Copies of this chain bind each other. A is one copy, B any other.
């Protein structure tokens, strides 16, 4: 994908093969992966891939503002290519993380009680609709 390469070049990151594959995974799969879950998917395809490369690459992407990261229920870092601020829902049963389309502008104003707000994160926790159905049976 040339779109992937462009994203990297535009941010001043040279588009190595590994970096492109990792970013491609993030762009195509909106599943809030961890470093380890990316590794489990990509390692079979790229036999020489090292987990350190994944950590390094993700850190670079975050610092350049290509992706964002957040702590999951288990203190493991999850990564997200989607950049519009959006709400995350954590399911306590299946541990999956859902994006909510919920429109959200409570913090449009960027200064609250004297603090300068640069970013925000809204996390909901509960039982997802799939797990609710399973319970019903």
Contact = CB atoms under 8 A, between A and B. Distances in A.
Interface stretch (A27-35, A40-48, A96-104): A96-104
Given A71-B71, A75-B75, A125 B129 contact: no
Interface of A: 71, 75, 77, 89, 91-92, 98, 100-102, 104, 106-107, 112-129, 132
A89 to B, nearest CB: 5
A48 B107 CA distance: 46
Given A71-B75, A107-B124, A113 B132 contact: no
B129 A113 contact: yes
B121 A123 contact: yes
A129 to B, nearest CB: 3
